[in-house]
Copies of this chain bind each other. A is one copy, B any other.
Amino acid sequence: MEGKKNLQVAILIFKGVTALDFVGPYDVLNFLPNVKVVFVSHTAGELYKDVGTFTIQATASFDQVPNPDIVVVPGGMGTDALMGDKTILQWLCKVHETSLYTTSVCSGSLLLGAAGLLNGLEATTHWNLLEFLTNFGAKPVKARVVRQGKIITAAGVSAGIDMALQLVALISDETTAKTVQLSMEYDPQPPFDCGSPEKAGPEIVSKAQLHMQAEMQQFAAELSK
């Protein structure tokens, strides 16, 4: 892990981001001594809230991060409101030109799509949003992580951890990725076997959809205040 080229990882943050979407990849990538993470948004120093009481501080504005090596776009209830945010979309297009890897978690891939980066490519997102990828010319794939050249998209929320570990193996090596996985004791033992719609069955799928719909409406109401 020593003597490697320094890498700047830019994590996009915004109002309504889901914390785990980016904290999973953050803690994985931050493990590497040659990685420096910047949390990028419109205003450096500003606090951005999720749909609860969690806040994350932007450490840089878009113009301060013109050439990140790795871009991570998390998802959350807030992505929908950003589909027309030209500053964000233009920044994504620009940084993708020179990035080593451009990645997303959950609905973050819809932002990559809106920026025109997924046209003709396979991609994934949260299971409940897969169909929307076609709006951007992407081919939806039900998979935990989808890699197409330097674009890597991950499924919903917790999938960012799996994606980031694969990314560490790419930018460093397998031994380092394994060392990270052990250090964060990532030996998952979910109490139930229902992490995908197929495993969970229609009753739980329906409950989850209703909940996410209610949360989205609540967030939209809050935004319009």
Q: Interface on A for B, CB 8 Å cutoff? A: 1, 18-20, 23-24, 26-27, 30-31, 33, 36-39, 47, 50-57, 59, 106, 126-127, 144-145, 155-159, 161-162, 165-166, 169, 174-175, 177-179, 181-192, 194-197, 199-200, 203-205, 207-208, 211-212, 214
Contact check, A188 vs B190: say whether CB atoms are below 8 A apart: yes
Contact check, B56 vs A54: say whether CB atoms are below 8 A apart: yes
Q: Is the interface of A mostly helix, strand, loop or mixed?
A: mixed
* A174–B200 alpha-carbon span in the complex (Å): 12
Contact check, A186 vs B190: say whether CB atoms are below 8 A apart: yes
Contact check, A165 vs B182: say whether CB atoms are below 8 A apart: no
Contact check, B192 vs A177: say whether CB atoms are below 8 A apart: yes
Given A182-B205, A194-B181, decide whether A26 and B31 contact each other with a Cβ distance below 8 A. Answer: no
What B residues does A203 contact at CB under 8 A?
175
Name the one of B126, B165, B205 contacting A192, with C-beta atoms under 8 angstroms.
B165
What B residues does A166 contact at CB under 8 A?
191
* A1–B204 alpha-carbon span in the complex (Å): 13
Name the one of B55, B177, B182, B190 contacting A162, with C-beta atoms under 8 angstroms.
B190
Contact check, B162 vs A183: say whether CB atoms are below 8 A apart: no
* A189–B158 alpha-carbon span in the complex (Å): 10
* A30–B1 alpha-carbon span in the complex (Å): 36
Contact check, A127 vs B162: say whether CB atoms are below 8 A apart: no
Please give 16 more A-B residue pairs, beta carbons under 8 A apart, in addition to A157-B183, A183-B212: A19-B26, A26-B54, A39-B53, A158-B184, A159-B187, A161-B188, A175-B203, A175-B207, A181-B194, A181-B195, A181-B200, A182-B194, A182-B195, A182-B200, A185-B195, A187-B195
